[in-house]
Structure 1
Amino acid sequence: MPKYSRIFRRFLISYIIILIIPSIAGYMSYRTAISVTQSISIENKVTQLQKSQEILERRIAEVESFTRQLALNQDLSLLLTENLVDEKANVYGIWKISRDIKAYSQTNDFLKHFYIYLKNFNVIITPGNAYFRPEHYYLTSHYTNLTLEQWKSTILDKTHRSEMMPLSPFMNNGTQTSVMTFMQSLPLDSFNDSAPATVVTILDEQTINGLLSGLRDPDGGWTYISDAQGHTLSLQGINQQEIEQLSSDKRLNKEEMSQFYQDDLVITIRSEQSGWVYRAGIPRHNLMENANKIKYITWSVTGVALFIGLIVGFMLSYRNSAPINRLLGVMKEQFGKDETLGRNEYDFLQGNISHILTNNKRLETELNRQLPLIRDAFLKRLIAGEFQSKEEIASAAAQADTGLNMSVGFTGILQINGYSGMDSVEILNELNAARLILKQILLESGRRLDIHMTDLGSDRIVAIFTPAIQEELEEVRKEDIEQLLTWLADTAFGEYRITITAAMSDPFASILEVSHAYEQARQALEYAVYMNRKGMVWFSETRIESNTYYYPIDVELRLISTIRAGDVEEAERIVQSIMEQNTQNRELSMEMKHQFIGELKGTLLKLLDQKALMESPMFEKMKDRIIGIQTQEGTEVISREITEIIVAMCGLISSKKSDIHIKTVKQINDYIGEMYADPDLNLYRIAEKVERPEKYISQLFKEVTGTNLSDHLEKVRMDHAAELLKHNEYNVDEIAIHVGYNSSHSFRRAFKRVMGVSPTTFRQSIKE
């Protein structure tokens, strides 16, 4: 037995089942074919028996017709009325009749053996011969079970009316046979016991059986005909004793047309005219000859197919189980789980493969998740100038899968306007969404450019514009970037109410110059902020004279933002860093020192423009304190004074910061109170009025008032509606229009939801 024979057996059993299912279907088809073949065979035999019956009855009818013709024969009629003259018969007349009827025996095999008995002449006339003594005829042709006297009394001397004597043994010219005898007295209207003449037709059993020969097969079968009284008229292939036993057996239904009795198919039909019973027996093996051929062919083909199928199944089972066995071996070696195999190898494989796939999927997901971070880190290193050679940049770009084109281009900084000094979680989320929107718009629109972007703080994006590889461009045109950024600004503002400032560098001619281009873009942005310029600014447009002291614009902006946020510790750190840069790392002339301190004082004076500081009673005192800083004082004294002023500012801003939100909410309330009747008044319209993002004002209103903005708008409308309902100047439908509802049905539902009663009930209660 192989080590993993269970898998082999399972495959083999599966193939065997696959073989058995069509075999069962084939067997059902085979049984159906056998049944249909049997039905057709039975139907054919019944049809043959019916045709044989029709032929026999027609031949018997011909015999009856023959007797009627004899009754009309004038010569025979004359002989019937004549008597013996001097004991002499009318020899000529008898001879003539014998000659005339000879033609009948020559043309009809049922009339080969018949005779006419003339009682008045005691003569028997046969075709071509006459016996003046019946005894002479008896010597050549007689019934072996009847004596001469019995023959005379039973047949010759009695009156017969189309009678048929049952099958009887008969001797004809020394030949033993069995015959049926048809008897008819002449004339046809003879009713007395002694008719003048009798026509007797001897029907040989062999002649009758010839009509039924189609029912008998060479290998067996039998036929049987009986009259209405059950007397045997014909037998073939069966003896009288067997017929009597068959007739007396209760298992045989006498009225059923076809049935199986013992090993024979017995077909029985009854003549409606004569009442005769025709019965034929066909051996089952003869009847099913065609079906047996089908059976033998079917079983042979099925047996061969099953044998071949088993061999093929054995081979396929081995071929399909072998890889699984090898896989099981590898799994066991790798995972060392021999003891956990149990009885089901597939569960073992499924568990381990699922574990592998899960780990692989987790690894792939983690790599995909880390890829944007790797790209972002690469771009940050690139703009920071950390790479030393093009080869290093190319390797890092390939690792980050950036597809960066190592050619000319531009570097730009996109700043999202309107969020300075806002540092709540909601605003940061808003800025994050805004950055994503801008990136998506750029990626979808810059079809002729490759754009690589990274975030710079919460409200800035650094973008590197290079020629698209698929476009095979050698340079980036300034006009294309201006058109692109102009479209970006229009789209961002038109669809999302996002305003941006774009600062662009001069073109760089090598990937190594990206960091320098970034510095140019940063300086251009500082210039734009300093000059309060919106839209797009190129570095070539800035002409700020360089100073020897260190106080860049981005540091100033960061200091301003930190103070506006009320973050004392961060503000102190920034000031300390600035002072260290200009005192420890630089030697400033008195003039440069005065300019530097003047810049710091200017930054502090800018911060006084904050409403939180301007409305404070400490404003004038703080302003005088800033102006009173003496530039000739030592840097430590100046630094300490500036730090104290910043601490004071942060304290005032923190205490008064909520006042700005309250005023914004008041502005929203005022606008709603003014425009509540406008059915188009919604969050978008309100945000546009107060010049703030929709999500920002929604969250701000909820934080300050504790109520959703939409609920507040609905409450204001319902309050005004309640005032109008107190008077009878307008009906309910008109009031709905006056408070900003296009549908009176919507107004009624809103009024009941807010007030608890319907408008009609409210008006009625006021009247009462």
Structure 2
Amino acid sequence: MPKFSRVFRKLLFSYIVILIIPSIAGYMSYRTSISVTQSISIENSVTQLLKSKEILERRMAEVEGFTRQLAINQDLNILMNQKTADQKTDIYGIWKMMQDVLTFGQTNDFLQHFFIYLHNYNVIMTPGSAYFRPEHYYENFHYTDLPLAKWEQTILGETHRSEIMPLHPFVNKGTQTSVITYMQSLPLDSFSGSSPATVVVIIDGKTISSLLSGITDRYGGWAQISDAQGRTIGLKGIDEKEIAKLSSDPNFNQEKVSQFYKDDLVITIRSAANDWVYKAGIPRHVLLENANKIKHITWTVTGLALLIGLLVGLLYAYRNSAPLNKLLSIMKEQFGNDGKSERNEYDFLQGNISKMILSNKRLESELHNQLPLVRDAFLKRLIAGEFQSREEVIAAAAQAGTGLSGSSGYVGILQINGYSGMGNVEILNELTAARLILKQALLDLGSPIQMTDMGSDKIVALFVCREGEAVKEMGKDDITHILEHLAQLLFDEYRITITAALGEDFASETEVSHSFEQAKQALEYAVYMNKTGTLWYSETQMESATYYYPLDIEVRLLSTIRAGEIEEAKRILQSIIMQNTEHRELSIEMKHQLIGELKGTFLKLLDQKAFMESESFEQVKNRILTIQAADPIESIQAEINEIMEELCGIITSKKNDIHTRTIEQIKKYVMEMYWDPELTLYRVAKHVERPEKYISQLFKEVTGMNLSDHLEQIRMNQAAMLLKSNEYSVDEISSRVGYHSSHSFRRAFKRVRGVSPSSYRQSVDE
């Protein structure tokens, strides 16, 4: 392969460079896995801490609710307020109160150990016992760092308002533990001095620590809860010395949610309810456990990918160098070397292909630059009424990019005053500048306006409403307001005065020229009457010496009927009648001439071959001839509408006949060529000599199904006949009905027939 060796080596080198990418991707994947694993762990730990916080706050709220229930307990209020005359004690009341509070500890494990101290009796009540001397209670339950006297002073003697004493060592009937203490004086409005009663709830630290086991059990880390002063409330997996060292370290940010401290990821959240701080530590090696697994998998897969990729690169380098060399030979044959020696084959290809791309871009640029000219030419043709049918208008509007399809509105002519009869170079230059200023001012008003020049001192503006909007949304008052504002702006800024003349509204694109003609007549009237400002066609006094039926309207009416567009034809006729009845007062003679002109139009139309071959030719002709000019204009209009409907029906029938013949031709060709796997829409369109999109839409409209579905139905019917004959195998039948593979045939047959080909053949045999 000496001829292809250089291209081969370059391709192989490029494949090897590409193969390096998986290695880089593997490393990035490893780094990403660490980041993702860390993020997930932080998120899970924060979630777990939040759950522990919510549970703890809910339990503490229940403890507080318990004290509030005691505050409204009638029996306890009686005991608190009894006088202890003669040292008599209400034994029954105390016993009854003990029974009342016995059940509280069964619903909340934070209420397993609590007592109520009555100052007047100097008695401590617990859910199971009553101690008439506090020192007796102290013997069984006491803080190891709090003597009896200090305990009586700080716990029993002072007033407390929902106070929480942090974690302290505690002896519970000889068992060493740690507890936090919740204290509340009764009644709740006690402020200073000694209160009648004190409720003390002793919560075992192990109970609180159990709420943190979700983190420590899952990650093997530690967790700690502290109050707003930094005193420990709960602790798990770490001791007080390490926590104190962590808190005093200046490198540890107490406000940061997550941070690495030594070998642990420390997560910190703060409760908004009581300012307690929840911390959790996760060992770094636990975080990276999953990432290390991903690392091993990544490098294994990367190594295999490099090895396999190298083999595939060798194959593809050889395979892809062949067409490149073939392309090079073709390019050299077509363009030659011109005596130049390129550095390599790619430079040669790049140079010639760049020329092709440059030529294409130059052509696109020229077309783009010509778009304003195309748009201006379209508007000029539109207002001149040169389009023969509505379809032609819509197609030309789409090509010019005007967005006028389906629009309605008004046509206006804006004339720059003060330049009549002047035609030297300086005046023309000044008018050009004035027209540009006028156009820009119109665009700045923000209304949907299309504009084109009309002579040196006039522009034509189309005030349009888009499809789906009502004409009333831009009515005469709105346009008058816009033009008055425009005139004032032009005069104030540039000392330019204008006269605006507008025709009546057009309901479709084909009526734009009619509205334009009305605007011209209104402008002529304004010049004749020396009027300035804004003038509407309806405000002009039209002479009725002759009827309105211009040649362009007649041509458009003829074209519309030839196209079979009955609604558009009726609209044009209605416009003609309205112009001659609402805006003119025709004499009897003028009315007779107008009706004669209309009859002549339709008689000329009947000279067309399409109508002369129709069976109803004579009937339609007689109906036209029998129209009497003396009849009311309404009855004449109704008769002409019926004649137009019949003529359009003839055109539609002709079109349907042509469509039917085309469909039959398509069906016949498909029936003849269904066995060919290469039978495509393009080949069918080529056979019937019609565009692909046209026959696709036509077949769907006439038959109600897509051409591809029809072809598949033909193939399945033929396949069913061959299956019944039991002469060929399923694989042979698939090739005979136009399928490249039997698998595609089986799927199509089951989709259409509901059963597989084998099952269908078996059912026929049975």
TM bracket, shorter-chain basis: 0.3 to 0.5
Which structure would you say has the larger Rg? 1
TM-score normalised by structure 1 residue count = 0.39
TM-score normalised by structure 2 residue count = 0.39
